[in-house]
Structure 1
Amino acid sequence: MNKGMVLAGTAGVLWGTIPLAVKQVYATGSATALEMSFFRFVIAAVLVGGLARTKKQPILLRNKWSVLMGFWGVFWMSFISFYGINYTSAVNATILFNSNPLLVAVLVMGLRWETVTARTLAGVVLGIAGVVVVSGLRADIHLLGDLLVLIGAFGWAVYTVLGYKLKEHSSLTVTSSSLFWGLPFFMTFFREVPAISNVGWLWILYIGLIPTAFAFACYIKAVDLIGSTHAAVFQYLAPVVAVIVSVACGLEEVTLLQVAGVVMIIGGIELVRSQ
């Protein structure tokens, strides 16, 4: 396995721990989705921006696409999905969030940027069926959480599509710029200094340093080495890791429906990608 695959795999594994870590912060009762998301990206912006600077690449792009990517891919994505995690299981959240390539396909089809084929439609339908299997059709609190996570994932899909507009810039510069532009949107909602517990801060530091900043750096380098198409496949490791950690640590129960849903979602994404 080459270096690019190792880096992409590392990112995928680390991303799978985010919802589990968010659950631990919620367990302290001392931080909200907004606070977790803001400090997560403050940490990430400083580190990714520093990495861009050491490589003598631009840290901030001054155009509307970067601002929009900051809103959708940083503020909206994290705030809404973290809020949803409080109302569903970490396993469900990881599975559903990583169905976002299907949302990208739907957006691209809606914008008519690509020709819609039978294979693409079949992939989207299969993936959506997997989402339904994972979430079920129960009108309970889990369904609310699942819907919020999907709405958050929609933000990441928009971020991905907007990225097409900045292809002339490096992925490191685009990521750094998006992180910095996303922060002001969080700040408009702050009314007082949050009183977060020491344990809560430790988990937030973990989320910001490891599965956000470090994972972003790994993924960016992986894209440079093996390309975005090959690197993106490794996001499938995220739900697998969430399942393994949940079972191994006794954090949550994992059902056969969740496993079946993962298989259907991955199958749907691969049908779309193979087009």
Structure 2
Amino acid sequence: MVVQNSRKMCEVTLCSADRAHKIKTQAIMLPQLTHFLPTSNISHINLEEIKQLRLADPNCFTPNKIDMVIGSDLIPRIILQGLQQNISGSLIAQNTIFGWILSGPIQERISTFTTQVTEPQEESLNSLLKKFWDEEEFCEDLYQRTTTADGRYMVKLPIKPEFPDPMALGHSRLAAQQQYISIERTVEKKPGLCKRYSEVLEEYITMDHMEPTSSQEVIKDGKYFSFYLPHHAVIKPDSKTTKVRVVFNASRISHSGNSLNDVLYTGPTLQNDSMLIILRWRLYKFVFNGDIE
């Protein structure tokens, strides 16, 4: 990991080619941004399938210098309506104010990079302890006020007061859709897994753990108030009860750089400590272990 310090910022205006869209923002100036990307020429792409698209970067398959990295906070203002799937079998084309951009896996091995901007800060122990107790008090009060029981317990999510400003969610549908497409290809090759995976999701609908919703993201004043949860299957063939378990990933980062977990308080740990439970086993001759549905 390379850490760079910057003391310079400048005002920039991002414009579409026809100058119909303009975005004013601030840029952090760094002595070096990235190496050439991609690191080698990409050849396993059917150019006939994308020639009708006006790409934001027509030379994206050739190594070149990267002049600017656009922050994820600007993505909602850049993305336009328009999505095409299965480009050259694995790519997705998304329309933006700059033109169409491509994403997805390809045959060549290419280098990627990640970047993160942080402000230097030091929090005192007193400040950290106060923040901890404030979170505990907030979550406990929320659970007492909002928990309902009608055949099952329901409680509202402990959303942080910083949401949606300054801590916001971003575009998340595309990432979840890509994960779904990947899962769909996997289960299609295994009919038994496909059937069981569908049964689990149908069970969620039957038990009201899940319900159909709009395919449009909830956006108000440029801020996102919805989050699409990517999911995948965890397979345990030797399990006598749950052979296929669907796992939802609330830690997947949206285009704002924040995930659903980031905008939620963790809350107190409700489960008993596993080590203490095991130590207490020594007090008894027999121990029962159960799985309750």
Do they superpose with TM above 0.5? no
TM-score of the superposed pair, with normalisation by structure 2: 0.22
TM-score of the superposed pair, with normalisation by structure 1: 0.23
Normalized per residue, the structure richer in strand is: 2
Larger radius of gyration: 2
Normalized per residue, the structure richer in helix is: 1
- Structure number with greater CO (CA < 8 Å, separation at least 6) is 1
